[in-house]
Structure 1
Amino acid sequence: MGISFDPMREWMKKQHISFYRLANEGIDAQTLQRLRHDRPVTTETIGKLCEIMQCQPGDLMEYRPEAKDS
């Protein structure tokens, strides 16, 4: 999948939000691990993150097309 959570990590740096804080706000440790490694998460999780971090989904993720072997 070509979804990257790099924008979320940048947002976190700018807003001084740690993964520890997200865990304390109720984001599961396994979900945080998935986010760190650009693995799929639910739209419910995206909604929770937007609420905690006061942002929009587009602030958290971006689509990056995967290179196709020719």
Structure 2
Amino acid sequence: MISYAPLWKTMEHRGATTYTLQIMGGISSSTIRRLKAGESVSTNTLDALCKVLDCDLTDIVEYLPEQ
């Protein structure tokens, strides 16, 4: 399963909010809701997050094997 836990840590470290993602990254509020719920998002969204937060993909997502 994919976890977005690193995203929230990266945002906190960078001082970014969901508003920052919406304004600077063009990420919709529905996509932010999907991220918060741990649902799938497009690779375009992941690309935009990396650009806005100036980070790598591993700073946004992590793979957690299902048990």
Structure with a larger share of its residues in helix = 2
Percent identical: 33
Distance in 2, matches of 1:24 and 1:44, equals 16
Offset of 1:66 from its aligned partner?
Answer: 1.4
- TM-score relative to the length of structure 1: 0.89
Distance in 2, matches of 1:66 and 1:30, equals 26
Tell which structure's C-alpha radius of gyration is larger: 1
- Provide the aligned C-alpha RMSD in A: 0.7
Q: Which runs of structure 1 show a deviation greater than 3 angstroms over 4 or more consecutive aligned residues?
A: none
1:21 equivalenced with 2:52 (yes/no):
no
- TM-score relative to the length of structure 2: 0.93
